[in-house]
Amino acid sequence: MTSLDDIPVTQLKGVGNALAEKLAKLGIASLQDLLFHLPHRYEDRTRIVPMGNLRIGDVAVVEGEVMKADLIMGRRRSLQVTLRDNSGFLVMRFFHFNAAQKNQLNEGVRVRCYGEVRPGRAGYEFYHPEYQVNPPPMPAEGEATLTPVYPLTEGIQQPRARSLCQQALGYLQRFPIRDWLPQGFLAEYQLPGITEAVQLVHSPPTNAPVNLLMEGRHPAQQRLVMEELLAHQLSLLQVREQIQAREALPLLPTGDLPERFLESLPFSLTGAQRHVLADIRQDLSQPLPMLRLVQGDVGSGKTVVAALAALQAIGAGAQVALMAPTEILAEQHLQNFRAWLEPLGIRLAWLSGKVKGKARQEALDVVRSGEAGVVIGTHALFQNEVEFHRLALVIVDEQHRFGVHQRLALREKGVGGALAPHQLIMTATPIPRTLAMSAYADLDTSVIDELPPGRKPIETIVIPDSRREDVIERVRGACREGRQAYWVCTLIEESEALQCQAAEVTAQELAERLPDLKVGLVHGRLKAQEKAAVMEQFKVGELDLLVATTVIEVGVDVPNASLIIIENPERLGLAQLHQLRGRVGRGEQASFCVLMYHPPLSFNGKARLQALRDSQDGFFIAEKDLEIRGPGEVLGTRQTGMMQFRLADFERDKGWIEPVREMAPGLMAHPDIVQALVRRWLGEKIRYGDV
């Protein structure tokens, strides 16, 4: 039976090869693709506003008569069309136009147009408005409907997108969309069928409640939101299935390595660490690959847990790889693991993009022969030339910097290429529960929700940069008392060069103002060795003050540092600020974090800094961050491709996550349904099997 999936868009009137190619950029090949290219908002064009009532920034429909149409030869040639009605006049300005358009807009012609009011050289103007010449009468009140607004690509304007979707809706009578969801579920939540929902969202009826549609809360929109969240959940469960389709090497706890390691530590494990370790031990003992995410707030002791997991693998005669997203973080792990594991007779290898020549060849040889029990590095670990002897456990730090594709690629590196390695994923960025349930549906989650004894809360102070003098004095006082401080420079520009320049200028200024202190500098453009050398000087107390860009966000551990100054904190996300704050408070003494902002602060900016001042709890802060910035930002840039929803909005729609999570495993028993839903909502974007 023919379905909308089988009918190409070229069947529609006016769609030739050129337009079909543009539509393909939006992932639209069939009529079903087109109907699931959903409006992301609506405009209320149901009434005409008198031109005399307009204000700058208004978005409105106006109607009037053309007084004149002039070609203006300024810096950019433009077509300036002046309209008037009984209350005033307005200019439509076009920078892109053709002769036919100019001839159409003659004096006396009636025009209805829609746009945003801007100030211009000729008074109020609409730039490139949508318009109709000799328009039909406006629908009577009570008959008008909202106008859908679609996500577009270059070369497709809103009117074209609307007309294509309207044409496609005409096919729904003969080819209804297949509803894959259980009828009982739809009835329980009082949701419409899929065909009805798609029809209403593209073409809201005149009596549809405007406020619900504008907010995305109409039952038809919610029906689609729920299915979209379900498709994402299913796609991640597919990843899990694919990884676990291969067996893993069961790593049974043998030998005394973990006990010897624990005896060497100057502290004992917290209850939360022991609980998470029990989960990991159990997973590693199975012939199924472990897929576990360990979340722990800054300083909760995730690295010790990772080391104990590594020792279980090594005790079972296997190799371990530890991958971190940056050189500085990977080096920090290398130092920790060397100090902990070399005394136990375990050899480590170091592999990053910067290890070259003879050193690289030596590292590759000891990894291939199996002499190295633990291999630490950046994602360079998983290049083709790196061959492991018996890799059975991969530990990935700060997973949200890596995508799902890397999780799949790791399968190929297991023992003999036939067994999949166990995967332990760690993050110090607490992820709100709702987000973790969706973004990491392929992983089991453990949380280390207890800080080691002796960790003192960090006092957080929020002050304007007009008090910079006081802050510099505070740094002088702390360092005179034998403590150390960080000074973090942040810049709104993405340019790493500018960030580094700002840090250099600040370091120079502070060195001049505090001549009795030793000031160091780290930023992203230093070579790894230079960075490591400065960090080492700071660690051993040769430097009093370390000026840095946000490269010190994760993993740097200096117990004697008790003060951190963060400039322009309003430019960073809450989770990142919380990470930076966690660089202090690692020793016995009271610690302070000074957030020095540049006024005026936006409402959001105030809310974020207040949340940070009020709470030390990374999970509370992550929830706030999600409310304010949305899931893409909270998860980090690499992962956002996963979270590009068409309709779903995490904050608004989180009530669906639990029901969707409960329904998804049952559907996995029906691969045809899973495939159809994933294809419908994620299209060709995610072809997990091809990685």
For Cα atoms 25, 27, 29, give the angle at the middle one, nearest 5 degrees: 105
For range 44-72, the mean pLDDT:
89
Alpha helix positions (H), 245-348: 257-264, 271-284, 302-315, 327-341
Share the mean pLDDT of the chain. Answer: 86
Same domain (yes/no): 349, 469: no
Structure token digits, residue 624: 């706030």
Alpha carbon 647 to chain centroid distance?
Answer: 16
Say if residue 281's pLDDT is above 60.
yes
Whole-number pLDDT of residue 219: 94
Structure token digits, residue 72: 């203006």
For range 57-61, the mean pLDDT:
88
Same domain (yes/no): 107, 186: no
Q: Which of 133-142, 346-355, 596-605, 649-658 has the lowest mean pLDDT?
A: 133-142
3-state secondary structure of 79: strand
Q: Say which residues have a Cβ less than 8 Å from residue 252's Cβ, sequence separation at least 6.
A: 285, 316
Same domain (yes/no): 339, 371: yes
Which of these three, 115, 138, 161, is where a domain ends?
A: 138
Of these ranges, 151-155, 352-356, 491-495, the one predicted with the greatest mean pLDDT is 352-356
Same domain (yes/no): 430, 360: yes
87: in domain = yes
Same domain (yes/no): 28, 163: yes
Which of these three, 419, 448, 477, is where a domain ends?
A: 448
Instruction: Provide the domain count of the chain.
Output: 4
Q: 1 pLDDT band (50/70/90 cuts)?
A: low
Strand order in the sheet with 444-448: 348-351, 374-377, 319-323, 391-397, 422-427, 291-296, 444-448
Say if residue 504's pLDDT is above 70.
yes
**352: burial class by Cβ within 10 Å (0-12, 13-18, 19+)?**
buried
Which of these three, 163, 187, 215, is where a domain ends?
A: 215
Contact 551, 326 (CB under 8 A): yes
Same domain (yes/no): 276, 376: yes
Q: Which residues pair with 319 in a beta bridge?
A: 391
Q: How far is CA 259 from CA 251, 268, 540, in A?
A: 17, 12, 29
For range 587-612, the mean pLDDT:
87
Domain range holding 197?
A: 4-42+151-215
pTM of the model: 0.73
Q: What are the two backbone dihedrals, phi and then psi, of residue 3, each rounded to the nearest 5 degrees?
A: -125, 170
341: in domain = yes
**Residue carrying structure tokens 């453009």:** 525
Alpha helix positions (H), 320-421: 327-341, 357-369, 404-409
Amino acid at 371: E
Whole-number pLDDT of residue 229: 93
Q: How far apart are CA 205 and CA 5, in angstroms?
A: 26
Same domain (yes/no): 472, 600: yes
Per DSSP bridges, beta strands 88-94 and 77-85 are: antiparallel
Say if residue 160's pLDDT is above 50.
yes
We report the CATH number of the domain holding residue 507 as 3.40.50.300
> What's the full length of the chain, in residues?
691
pLDDT tens readout for residues 635-680: 553 343 445 688 888 778 889 989 999 999 999 999 999 999 999 9
Whole-number pLDDT of residue 153: 72
Strand order in the sheet with 591-597: 458-464, 591-597, 561-567, 484-488, 545-548, 519-522
Q: 688 pLDDT band (50/70/90 cuts)?
A: very low
For range 321-350, the mean pLDDT:
89
For range 181-185, the mean pLDDT:
87
370: in domain = yes
Alpha carbon 239 to chain centroid distance?
Answer: 19
294: in domain = yes
